A and B are shown apart, each in its own frame.
Chain A
Amino acid sequence: MDSSEMTAAPLPVLEPFKGVKRVPLEEYYTSGHRTCQGCESALVMKLMVKAAGPRTVVLGSTGCMYVANTTYYSTPWVVPWMHTQLGSAGSAAVGTAAGYKALMRKGKIKREPINVISFCGDGGGVDMGLSAISAALQHTEYNHLILLYDNESYANTDIQSSGSTPYGAYTSFSPAGKAKRILHRRWKKNVAAMLAAGHSECRYVGTVCASYAVDFMNRIRRALSIGGPTFIHSFDPCPKGWDCDPMMSHELGELAVLTGIFPLFEVLDHRLALYGKSKQIAEGRQKRLPVRDYLLKQGRFAHFTDDDIDYFQAKVDQMWTRWLVPGVLPFQADILGDKPPA
C-alpha cells in the first residue's frame, strides 16, 4: 500500500442485492415530501438512499427534489441532507468529499466510509451544472456519486425545456403554436455517454430507470463502492411535465427502454455494456417497440403529426442501427444527411 492509498478515504462494501426480497426494509427517504402524484423522481430518491444505507450524506441541487422534498420542518430525509445551488451538484460532491477526506487524514474525525451522493435534475446536470460535474469527475481522489434525475424539463419552475427535453416536446418554453408546431428542435443530450467518454479516469458511469428497481439500486451500490467520482443518469417519468396519468409513470419508464429511446448501459472501469432490456434489444432477444407506443401516451407529444412520429422513430432507429454503439457513440458519417420534417 503506497502512501496515497493509506491517506485515501475508505470505501464501503456494498454487495448487490440478490433479488427484491433481499432488499432491506429500512427507508431513509420517508414521509414528509410533497411531490406530485406519480412522481418517479421521488421513487428515485427513495431507492437511491435505500441502496446507499444509513452512512450517507445527500446533497441536492435546486429543482423539484429540493423544493418539493424539503419543506422546513417536514423533511423526508432520514440521512443528512444539504441544499446546493442549481449548477453545483459536482462542486457540492467535491467539497463534501474533500472536507471529510482532509478531516479523516488529520484525525479530526473518525476514519470510516461515508457515502457522498449529490443529485441534480436535468436543468442542474445537463444544462447549468455540466461544467462542474465534468470537473468533479476529474478529481479522482474523492469518492462520491452524482445522480442526475432526468424528468426532461425544468419541472419545478413550470415545465420549461432543457437540454434534456426530447425533440418536439410541448413545454411552457416550447408550446405548439399556429405558426410553429414544434419549437423545441434540440435533440436530447447524450449526457451519460458524453461524461463517460470525456472522463477516462472515472470508474463508473451508468444509466438507470427506477422501473427496474433492483437493477437501479445495484448500480447505485456499485457506483458508491468502486471509489473515485461516479455518475448515474436516471430516467424519470413526470406526470406534470409529460402530461400523462400519474399511474403511467412506471409503464412509461419501461416503454422508454423498450422503444429504445433510453438505453440502459454502464461503463465500469472502461468496459461498456448494455444491460437489462436494452441488452436484450441489442442481442435481438427483445423486440424494440415502436416509439408511437411511448409518445402517444403523453400530452407533451399530442401535437405530433405522423411525420413527426416517423422522424422520431427514424432517429431512434438510426441510433440502434447506425451508431457505433447504440445510445452511446453517435459517430457515423452519413447521419448528417438526415433532416427533420418541415
Chain B
Amino acid sequence: MDADAAAVQAAEVEQEALISGSEAVAVATKLVDVDVLTAYPIRPYDTLMQYVAKQIADGEQDAEYIVAESEHSQFEIAKHASAVGARALCGSSGVGWCYAFEAIAVTPALRLPLVAMVGNRALDDPGAFGTEHNDALAARDLGWLHVWVDTAQEALDTTLLAYRVAEDRRVYLPVAISTDGAFLTHSQSLVRVPPRAWVDRFLPPYDRGKLVLHPDNPITIAPQVNEDWLMEIRRQTDEAMRQAPGVIEEAWRDFRAIFGRGDGSPFFEEYYTDDAEIVLVGMGTLSMPVRVVVRKLRAEGQKVGFVRVRWFRPFDYEGLGALLSRFAAIGVVDRDFSMGSPFHSGVLANEIRATLYAQDRRPPVASFISGLGGREVTIPNVREMFELTRRAAESGAAPRDTLWIGVRS
C-alpha cells in the first residue's frame, strides 16, 4: 500500500448505527458489493429485502435487485448468477425455505458460493411466524455451511465472513446465515459498520476462474454422471466441507486483525465456561435469556456457563468435544425438533451426543426442547434447565429422554 492509500485507509473509521439483524445483513450486502439480490416475501427474513430495496431505490447500492415470483425462482436466479461469477445473495424463512428446497439441495454440488440469510421461522401449518430452527436444519446434510448468529453486529460481521469462506477456492460452497425470527431479524441494537476500504482488504473479488460460465470458457456444468461419477463428486463436496474449518479459522484471524473484533473460537462462543461445572449449549438468540440466568446463578454461587454453537456446519466436533467433555454435565437446548430421533431429541442434542462419544470422558447430556414457534424461553425456563442439568451432574446420569420445557401439559 502506498502512502496516499494508507492515509485514505487511516481516515476510514467505523460508524455506529442502530439497526436490526435484517438491516445489518442489508448493510453488509452494500459493503461486499453484492451483484445480484433476489427477493420474495415471507416473514421474517423479508425485512432484509425491504432494506435492500430501499438501498437500491435510494441509489446507495449498485446491484441487480430482482423480485422473484417464488422462493424456488429466487434461489435459482441467485444460483445461476453465481455461476457466471456474480456475487449473489438471497434468503427465506420457514416454509419459504422449503419451497426453494430443490434449488437449495443442488447448489452445493455445483460449488456455487451463494450466501443466504435464513430468518428462522416455524414450518407452519399450524400458522406461526416465530423462531424455530427446523427450516435451516432441514438442509443440514446437503453441503451448505450453516452459521447461527445472535446479534445484529454478528449478523453483519458473519455476512462478510460468509463470502470470504464461501468464495475461497478450497471451499466453494454456499453459506446459510441463520438469524432468529423477530428476536434478531426485527430487534435493533447498536452496530459498528466498518468502512468499505476495510472490507475490501478482508474480502478479495469473487473470481470463479476456470469454473465460470462464459462464452470464453466453454464448459458444461452439471451433466448426467449417474453411478459412474456421482460418488466421486459427492466426495469432492465432502472434501470441501472438510477444508472449511481451516478456511474459517484463517478468515477469522484476518477479520480480527482488520476489524478488531472476534476473540476465541470462530465456531462457538463460550460464556463463563472457565471454571464452570455445568453448561447449557444452544444456538442463536437463546443466548439472551441464558446469559442473564448465568449471571444470576453465578451471583448465587453456582458455577454455570453457556456455550453458543455458531457454525453448525462444519460442526467443530474436535473443539466442542474437547471443551464439553470437561464439564460435570451438559444441557442442550434445541429450538427445533427431530421427531422419532434417538431419545426424541432435537437436532443439536444428538450432534452433541455423537461428538462426545469420541471423548474419553463423556459427561451426562440432558436435552431440552424449548422456545418453539417463537415462544419466549423465559428466565424461569432457563433456571429449570440449569437445575435439571445440575441434578444430572450430581447423580451422574441425565434423564434418558428429552424434556420439553415451557410447554403446557
Contacts and interface: CB of A to CB of B under 8 A. Distances in A.
Interface of A: 54-57, 59, 66-67, 70-72, 75, 77-85, 87-88, 90-92, 94-96, 98-103, 105-106, 108-109, 114, 131-132, 134-135, 139
B222 A87 contact: no
A91 B214 contact: no
Contact of B35 (A88, A90, A99): A99
Interface centre among B38, B82, B222, B229 (most CB of A within 10 A): B222
Interface centre among B80, B81, B225, B226 (most CB of A within 10 A): B80
A59 B222 CA distance: 11
B68 A57 contact: no
B64 A102 contact: yes
Interface stretch (B84-92, B127-135, B300-308, B378-386): B84-92
Interface residues of B, number: 44
Contacts of A70: 220, 223-224
B70 A131 contact: yes
B116 to A, nearest CB: 14
Contacts of A103: 35, 84-86
A78 B218 contact: yes
Given A80-B215, A99-B85, A106-B62, A85 B223 contact: no
B-side binding surface: helix, strand, loop or mixed?
Answer: mixed
Interface string B224-258: 11101100000000000000000000000000000
Interface stretch (B20-28, B71-79, B141-149, B323-331): B71-79
B73 A98 contact: no
Interface of B: 33, 35-36, 38, 62-64, 66, 68-70, 72-73, 76-86, 88, 102-103, 106, 205, 213-215, 217-226, 228-229
Given A55-B215, A109-B214, A88 B66 contact: no
A135 to B, nearest CB: 4
A100 B73 CA distance: 18
Contacts of B38: 95
Contact of A83 (B86, B223, B226): B223
Nearest to A71: B224
A144 to B, nearest CB: 11
B181 to A, nearest CB: 26
Nearest to A68: B224
Given A57-B215, A59-B80, A85-B103, A102 B35 contact: yes
Given A101-B64, A102-B64, A91 B73 contact: yes
A294 to B, nearest CB: 33
Contact of A99 (B86, B217, B221): B86
Contact of A98 (B62, B81, B220, B223): B81
Contacts of A96: 80-81, 83-84, 213
Nearest to A61: B76
A100 B215 CA distance: 11
Contacts of B86: 98-100, 102-103
A132 B224 contact: no
Nearest to B103: A85
A80 B219 contact: yes
A337 to B, nearest CB: 36
Given A83-B222, A139-B66, A106 B80 contact: no
